[in-house]
Amino acid sequence: MAHVPPVTIHLPHWREMARHALVPLLESTVIPLGLFAVLLHTAGFDAGLWAALSWSGLAITARLVRRRALPSILLLSTAILVVRTVVGLWTGSALLYFLQPSAQNFLFAGALLVTLIGGGRPLLARLAEDFVAFPDALTSRPKVQQFFRRVSLLWAAVFVVNGVTTVTTLALSTVEEYLVVSTAGSWSVVAVGIAISLWWFRSSLAGEGVRLRLGPAAA
């Protein structure tokens, strides 16, 4: 059998990948949560709600004005934040406000599994593009498509664990303790999921004769 030389696929430089991943993460999660926490202590519950929602609306508006792509994670998180804000303002309950994202972990897990049923492109693959700009030469490979379908099961489990953890923390802690403990716990679980996903991704490509390189190809 003739030897097939390995294929080298170039990914963006790690600094570009970090910037690409950091911006939607800050826009959709870190900044709204930070604004809510600060305003909760300084101006009250309602002010925290409006601050978080206003930031998400501003982030979407800024991207539309600049004619930049809207990340799926930003649209999804903003839609969820609208529902949370309406419920929070209507009930005045911090418990219900924080219970919603905890419950939504289970909805995310279900959504990941549902997109596997139809045989189309998994939801996880679309969300991954918000954080890593994969070239078509990589995403079009059958092994990579198979990887995203299989790793969707892993991330469904991650969301379930996150949901159980945050609901338990919310039931046993104050709001301030919940913000600290749930954030640290969620990020720990997500970090483990990312580490396993990266190892799984590299393993999936090992038998394909594909080598990944950071940075553009040499001229």
Which pLDDT tens digit goes with each residue over 113-125?
888 876 667 777 7
Q: With the C-alpha atoms ordered 185, 187, 188, 192, is the resulting torsion angle positive or negative? A: positive
Which helix (H) or strand (E) segment holds residue 213: the answer is strand 210-214
Kindly give the residue spans of alpha helices, DSSP state H, lying in 66-174: 72-91, 94-117, 123-128, 136-139, 142-172
Distance of CA 91 to the CA centre of its chain: 28
Q: Between the ranges 4-18, 77-91, 166-180, where is the mean pLDDT highest?
A: 77-91
Looking at residue 13, its pLDDT comes to 60
- Rounded mean pLDDT of 74-100? 77
Q: Residue 3 pLDDT more than 50?
A: no
Q: Residue 154 pLDDT more than 80?
A: yes
Q: Residue 95 pLDDT more than 80?
A: no
Instruction: List all residues 6 or more positions away from 190 whose beta carbon is below 8 Å from its beta carbon.
Output: 158, 162
